[in-house]
Amino acid sequence: MLKDYVLAMSVEEALDSLKSHAGEARIIAGGTDAILDYQSGKLSAKCLVDISKIDKLKKIEYADGQIIIGAAVTHSEIKESSLIQSKAPLLAMASGSVGSLQIRNTATVAGNVVNAQPAADAAVALVALGAVAEIADHNGTHYVPVEEMYAGVGKSTVDASRQVVTAIRFPALQAKQGSSFVRLAQRGALALPILNVAVVLSLAADNVVEWVRIVMAPVAPKPLRASQTEKVLQGAVVTDQLIGEAARAAVVEASPRSSALRGSAEYRKEVLEVLVRRALDQAIVAAK
């Protein structure tokens, strides 16, 4: 039973509150998922520690070629940020796809990661960006790649009873680098997508793919890097034939399950090939 609520005004106060409740407190920021989980019995906590009012966690900053997003930044703030639109446009698009306007105004990007749903839009985009989470506890600050924060569907490697994600950081896109985010969802639905794909790539001279990151979901227990497909593209000259080959290779790497809500595995594989091709085409155009 919930007995206490702490509105922390600093990271240190949040960590102290977690420690004083000896594993029976949980961090919340937007709380859009945590409150529902608590009400349904999925989350057991005697205290909720709210970090949404900590000033330094509410900032979107640019420093030394990196974008730093505080853990209390909402999806709406990401979507409307001119910095994100310019230097990480796929994340602006992904955050703009999350839920309803009310949810986007409250839910945080860091929470999207910690919630550990494999198809969470912002998390998929962040993995494509090579994002790293900044995590604080009483032993100091640790840095963990977002793609390594999944312990299973809905299970994060972050211990919300003793750790606080304070920021997400990633390299800002530069000249000759492009990105894209494509999504298939039920018409009018606010639920997680049927499929989504994020791509970030860099073009060298003569339309050669210098490097590329392709992330697909939900086709595995976490956002899936299409690492073999990336090898097909890296160092190759962009052609329609190459993009088609890469899209087919990506389908081979994916293992979508049949679902009453999302459709059969066969259907989703067919659609995935189309989405990967579309995402690659869009990222290449953006990089030119």
* pLDDT per position as a tens digit, 159-203: 988 999 999 999 999 999 999 999 998 765 556 789 999 999 999
The Cα 216–Cα 196 span in angstroms is: 6
The whole-number average pLDDT for the span 111-130 is 93
Give me the pLDDT at residue 32, please.
Answer: 62
If you average pLDDT over residues 84-105, what whole number do you get?
A: 93
The whole-number pLDDT of residue 190 equals 55
Strand partners of residue 69: 60, 168
Give the C-alpha distances (Å, rounded to integers) separating 54 from 59, 153, 242, 268.
10, 29, 48, 41
CATH number where 212 lies: 3.30.390.50
At residue 262 the predicted structure's pLDDT band, cuts being 50, 70 and 90, is: confident
What's the chain's average pLDDT? 92
Question: Which CATH number goes with the domain that contains 39?
Answer: 3.30.43.10
The pLDDT of residue 41: 60
Q: What is the pLDDT of residue 37?
A: 62
Rounded Cα gap, residues 191 and 97, in angstroms: 10
275 shares a domain with 198: yes
Report the distance separating Cα 94 and Cα 115, nearest Å. 16
> How much is the average pLDDT of 266-279?
96
Is residue 145 over pLDDT 90?
Answer: yes
Look up residue 174 and give its two tokens: 């530069």
Q: How many domains does the chain have?
A: 3
Nearest to 198 by CA among 255, 250, 249: 250
Q: Average pLDDT in the 206-219 region?
A: 96
Task: Name the β-bridge partners of 25.
Answer: 47
The pLDDT > 90 percentage for the chain reads 75
Same domain assignment for residues 191 and 84: no
Helix (H), strand (E) at residue 244:
helix 240-253
| The pLDDT of residue 259 | 80
The CA-atom distances, in angstroms, between 98 and each of 68, 69, 190, 194 are 20, 17, 8, 13
Is 13 in the same domain as 85? no
Q: Are residues 166 and 204 in the same domain?
A: no
Which whole number is the average pLDDT over 251-280?
91
- Cβ atoms of 209 and 234 within 8 Å: the answer is yes
- The residue segments making up the domain with residue 197 are 177-287
Q: What is the mean pLDDT of residues 127-152?
A: 96
CA 94 to chain CA centroid, Å, is 8
Q: Is the pLDDT of residue 248 over 70?
A: yes
Q: CA-to-CA distance for 288 and 129, rounded, in angstroms?
A: 18
Select from 156, 171, 186 the last residue of a domain. 171
Contact between 172 and 134 under an 8 Å Cβ cutoff? The reply is no
How many Cα atoms sit within 13 Å of 60 on the Cβ side?
Answer: 22
Q: Do 88 and 41 fall into the same domain? A: no
pLDDT at 36: 59
| Listed residues 35, 50, 65: the one ending a domain | 50
71 neighbors 62 (Cβ within 8 angstroms): no
* Cβ–Cβ < 8 Å for 164, 26: no
Q: What residues contact residue 22 under an 8 Å CB cut-off, 6+ apart?
A: none
Least confident window among 4-18, 32-46, 237-251: 32-46
Nearest one of 236, 271, 264 to 250, comparing CA atoms = 271
- pLDDT, position 33: 63
Instruction: Assess whether pLDDT exceeds 80 at residue 44.
Output: no
* pLDDT given for residue 196 in this prediction: 96
Q: Is residue 259 classed as helix, strand or coil in its secondary structure?
A: strand
Question: Between 161 and 253, where is the model more confident?
Answer: 253
What is the model's pLDDT at position 102?
Answer: 87
User: Cα(110)–Cα(123) distance, rounded to whole angstroms?
Assistant: 8
Which residues does 168 contact at the CB level (< 8 Å), separation at least 6? 68, 69, 71, 109, 110, 113, 126, 131, 132, 133, 134, 146
Copy the structure tokens of residue 15.
Answer: 């960590």
